[in-house]
Structure 1
Amino acid sequence: MTNTIIRQNVGIDISKLSISVAIAQKRLDQSVTILSSKTFANHSVGFEKMDRWVEQFADKSIEVHYTMEATGVYYESLAYWLFERQKPVSVILAKQVKTYAQSLNIKSKTDDIDARVLAQMGVERKLSSWSAVSKQMRTLKQLSRERNALIEQQTVIKNQLHALKHSHEPQQRSIDRIEKHLLLIQGQIKEIEEDMKSILVNDPPLQERVKNVCTIKGVGFITAIAIIAETNGFALFNSRSQLVCYAGYNVVQKQSGSSINSPTKISKKGNKHIRKTLYFPALTAVINDQQMSAIYERIHQKTQIKMKGVVAVQRKLLVLIYTLFKNNQPFNENYGKNKAA
């Protein structure tokens, strides 16, 4: 009776070209067994081979659950492949996996070990099921990143044009070509922004939430779309701390005895697109919002480092966007004062 299998899970560690897979089973006596592990290619043919491999080890009477880590965009193809075949899958944030591995006192790190950790985590923990991102959200994310890439190109070309115009005897034909290239990029940026707006027009509930987020001083339409798209509408997050870690704003410190005592800093082990998106809105918020200005000044006076004050405001803006989007409410700058009263 104690040998009865009550749960089984496939843990998947994903990289650009391959997926490392391990299958675990939990029995009635709470014992966990890793049955086997193997590596497959990270494309549809590899997914089919993985599926046949799982069938060799899985108990046919118990549903198989799949657990993977949210690693960049490399997990998406397999997650959608499993979801479309109605196989239950959980996508876990890297911080959660790391914390669980530490609880097992696992110090080594390989693809196979990570897959085994995910497999065991899936049978021991009750994990939330992952749902496919809506087509609108996927499109907004692609458009947002495309726009950011074009903005970077635009900056480079503007600098080239400035340098050429101020050089000795610049060639007019070279200037004309660069200016045409610049106009092309500017036109493409406008096209992307129009595409973003048309998506929201066709999705009134999302449009309403974006409108509420834009009531935050310093946060405009483009910023709101970028943050919401990068987080899939905050679908994977159950708390502010999870979101802060995902964006790389969590504070870390190295301290050991008397020889190592480095200053605290943000980890930066997170979504760089979020941090980059919030930089200029944070500067605007410091100028136009008294609360954000107070946060900035407090951190600046304490550390004498301006960037730390800006980062603190970025983190505050991210949490505000998350709160307003989740609650579907506009920003109320007197909320804290009214609550205290």
Structure 2
Amino acid sequence: MTIAVGIDIAAKTFDMVIRRSGKPSKPSTFKQTPAGHAAVIKQLKKLKPRSIVMEATGIYYLDLAVAIAEAGLPVSVINPKSFRHFCALKLNGTKTDGVDAALLAEYGERMAPRLWTPPRDLYLKLRDVGRQINRLTHSRTQAKNRLHALTSTHMTLALLIEDEQEAITMLDRRIDRLTQAALELIEQDQTLSRHMQNLCAAKGVGQATAIAVLAELMVLPDSLKAPQVSRYAGLDIRLTQSGSSVNRPARLSKAGNAYLRSALYMPAMCAVRHDPRAKAFYDALVSRGKKKMQAQCAVMRKYLTGMWACIKDETAFDSSQLFSEEHMKA
């Protein structure tokens, strides 16, 4: 008897459907906690399924996928776009967690997806530290904005200004401590250390950016192509244009890994100012009628492509491999 399992992931729970010889069970719901993971793994070990399928949904799938893989069970993590195409072929118009879990189980039964290999524990630790640094940096920026607002008027209590300054100082200390922890993790691994050095060869890429980029890229499968990594980062532009009256500024779609986009934005801006090739590429796009945000996003994509090449080929970042010399002649 063939057994395939589909797991639909949400932020706080996940639904599981067991498909036995073509017949799906009713969905079972588990909490997204270590206890919930342990409960489902205990059940899966008794079933001995041929395939366990889940989508690469945000960040919520990773802990469960790692736990299942470490238990020696055959887990496959599929691209959400591939699953959407499968659903379209099935002409399924209903979308609930239970229905998606059943379709994932059927996907595993019919498509036999390849098994997923979990990232190294060191890389997962670096990712977690990198993301916490990102969150704290965002909080520090908000605190600095609040401090600016408070000091813009003479009516503000001195106590409030002092309180905000203390908060910023504490955030600085936390960021410094976690940055040091990230550097110690990188120093433990020669490959990570080489990647760090190679990334820092790029204009605008310093220690903080290199840590953030490594934290996100090192947990990805090394089989991914550069365009797949760009889509993973959500580096596409959303245009809002209608008739002659609606022509809003172009914006990033923000559908993808926000940590990568955050890490790439300032280096791309710096590259446009200080790297002649990047500036020529940017100017050429703008001269052809592209919005500045579209051109900025294109530079970010180029930079991400170069960084991914650094990691895959273990070579130093080289902008001459990304930007055409033709733009320099214009």
TM-score, normalised to structure 2's length? 0.83
**Residue aligning to 1:310:** 296
User: Are residue 18 (structure 1) and residue 4 (structure 2) matched?
Assistant: no
User: Are residue 134 (structure 1) and residue 123 (structure 2) matched?
Assistant: no
2:60, 2:324 → 1: CA distance? 45
**Residue aligning to 1:101:** 87
1:314, 1:334 → 2: CA distance? 15
- CA deviation vs aligned residue, 1:50-71 (integer Å, no higher than 9, x gap): 4566578x5x6xx522111122
**Residue aligning to 1:204:** 190
Read off the aligned partner of 1:24 and give its amino acid letter. R
Read off the aligned partner of 2:13 and give its amino acid letter. S
**Residue aligning to 1:161:** 147
Mapping for residues 1-341 of structure 1, pairs under 5 Å: 8-24=3-19, 33-42=22-31, 43-47=33-37, 50=40, 63-168=49-154, 170-235=156-221, 238-250=224-236, 267-335=253-321
CA shift for structure 1 position 313: 0.9
CA shift for structure 1 position 252: 7.3
Secondary structure in 1 matching 2:27: strand
2:164, 2:240 → 1: CA distance? 48
CA shift for structure 1 position 74: 2.2
* Structure 1 unaligned regions, length at least 5: 27-32, 256-261
Identity score, percent: 29
Of 286-295 and 232-241, more deviation after overlay is shown by 232-241
2:145, 2:37 → 1: CA distance? 46
**Residue aligning to 2:245:** none
Secondary structure in 1 matching 2:153: coil
CA shift for structure 1 position 15: 1.0
The two structures, once aligned, show a CA RMSD in angstroms of 3.2
2:30, 2:59 → 1: CA distance? 15
**C-alpha spacing 1:319/1:334, structure 2 compared with 1 (3 Å):** closer
Aligned residues: 319
1:124, 1:20 → 2: CA distance? 20
CA shift for structure 1 position 115: 1.4
CA shift for structure 1 position 39: 2.1
2:15, 2:155 → 1: CA distance? 59
2:89, 2:306 → 1: CA distance? 32
1:53, 1:189 → 2: CA distance? 41
CA shift for structure 1 position 200: 1.1
